[in-house]
Structure 1
């Protein structure tokens, strides 16, 4: 399947993603309170919206994604390939 803007995919967090999320969780919001969020570990998968597509390699485009975490936080990741390992995205399984 060809990725298109606005499609929902599953994104698997990498170690670096986990570190960025932890930093966000520890940073107070403008109103002074801590953001409400559940834990997010490397290897966890979350839904993500495709926001931009880069045709870096024919047949294997890279995507910028807006990852929807469990809580108030989100994560923007750039130039991610389709795959099954941490730091990549995959199409949701059909049910």
Structure 2
């Protein structure tokens, strides 16, 4: 069995969204539609994308490695925005990251 890679800045992992993550992401996106900012052509970037639900898995780039294997991640969503997930541990539960399967 191969040794798992070491998390380092710039590596891509997979992140499983929590219910709270989904609520925050969906709120920002709803606010963009409610305010009309998604349609303005003034240089403002609104949060726009498909709805997020608990348990969905998204690719994420490691932006900081903490002691004990905790990572800060920029989670790439299905839309024009990202989600900053801080101090997340490795695992398979919601709110954790894991390595992509090798194919």
TM-score by length of 2: 0.81
Q: State the Cα deviation string for residues 44-75 of structure 1 (Å, max 9, x = none).
A: 000000000001x3xxx100000000011210
Give me the whole-angstrom Cα distance separating, in 1, the residues matched to 2:48 and 2:30: 11
Structure with more helix by fraction: 2
* Counterparts of 2:26 and 2:79, CA distance in 1: 13
In 2, the alpha carbon distance for the partners of 1:21 and 1:31 equals 17
Task: Determine the structure 2 residue equivalent to 1:80.
Answer: 88
SS of structure 1 residue aligned to 2:22: helix
State how far apart, in whole Å, the 1-side matches of 2:47 and 2:95 are: 24
**TM-score for the superposition, normalised by structure 1:** 0.88
More strand by share: 1
CA contact (8 A) 1:18 1:42 kept: yes
Q: From the CA coordinates, give the structure whose radius of gyration is larger.
A: 2
Instruction: Identify the range of structure 1 (32-41 vs 79-88) with the bigger mean alpha-carbon deviation.
Output: 32-41
Structure 2, gaps ≥5 residues long: 39-45
How many matched pairs?
A: 91
Could you tell me which runs of 5 or more consecutive residues in structure 1 were left unpaired when the two chains were aligned: none
Mapped partners of 2:47, 2:81: distance in 1: 7
Give the RMSD, CA atoms, in angstroms: 1.8
